[in-house]
A and B are shown apart, each in its own frame.
Chain A
Amino acid sequence: DAKTTQPTSMDCAEGRAANLPCNHSTISGNEYVYWYRQIHSQGPQYIIHGLKNNETNEMASLIITEDRKSSTLILPHATLRDTAVYYCIVRVGSGGGADGLTFGKGTHLIIQP
């Protein structure tokens, strides 16, 4: 699986958009970008995933650069409940890879009131 690089921590004001970057310069053509988050000591929660195109769901948007070497997770209107560690994970997605996700250290996002 391709390695990812994320900032250790970020701050964002409540109500503003939180933009979390992830570098994955060694990503392969069949590898997806997944985002999960973990609120203090709770189980990780799936947010979104994508291959090439930008994706949006009720929680967030995922913007993947054209060369796929980096991506940005966008929380459009951050709330205090969004304070969590956010993990960017790159791995083979559908069609194979019967193993678990490899979580790195992630970005600790702190939403400031």
Chain B
Amino acid sequence: ETGVTQTPRHLVMGMTNKKSLKCEQHLGHNAMYWYKQSAKKPLELMFVYNFKEQTENNSVPSRFSPECPNSSHLFLHLHTLQPEDSALYLCASSQGDSYEQYFGPGTRLTVT
């Protein structure tokens, strides 16, 4: 059972669409993360938020735009994506000074 939920679980979008991924954590954590998981590659850390402030952006293209309105919610806004952006996008949360990250089930994104 996970305290981190993600919606939608699956998303198919065209290259000209705009969509958003949502993540919500019910664990009282103050840090939230977006990861990209592609086949045969390590998980790629995309963004980190700590107390709603972005603390890390790992050179992610601007077509990915994160938003963290509060410590419980995290969004990833998507626009003009490329086929190579197709992947599983995972959200995670943690207490700020803990390495124990709790993951959501992910959103499987397909860009056509």
Is A bound to B?
Answer: no
Residues of A bordering B, CB below 8 Å: none
